[in-house]
Amino acid sequence: MRRLWHTKAVGHTGTLDPFASGLLVLLLGPATRLARFVSGQAKTYQAGMRLGEQTDSDDRTGTVVARWDGQEWPDQAQVEEAMAQWRGKISQVPPAYSAKRVKGERSYRLAREGRAVPLMPAEVEVHSLTLETYAPPDVGFRCTVSSGTYIRALARDIGVALQTGAHLSHLRRTEVGHLSVTDAVPFDALREETATRHPIDVLDGYPRMELTEGEMEEVAHGRPLKHHGEHDEGTWAVLARGGAVIAMALYGPEATLQPKVVLTGAVL
Q: Which of these is catalytic: 17, 58, 59, 157?
A: 17
Tabulate helix, strand, coil % of the chain (nearest 5). 25, 35, 40
Distance CA 53, CA 115 (A): 22
SS3 185: coil
Tell me, yes or no, if 17 is annotated catalytic.
Answer: yes
Distance CA 110, CA 115 (A): 5
Q: Are 167 and 59 in contact (CB under 8 A)?
A: yes
Q: Which helix (H) or strand (E) holds 225?
A: strand 225-226
For residue 251, the cross-strand partners are 234, 257
Q: In which region does residue 62 sit, left (phi positive, over 0), alpha (psi from -120 to 50) or beta (all else)?
A: beta
Active site residues: 17
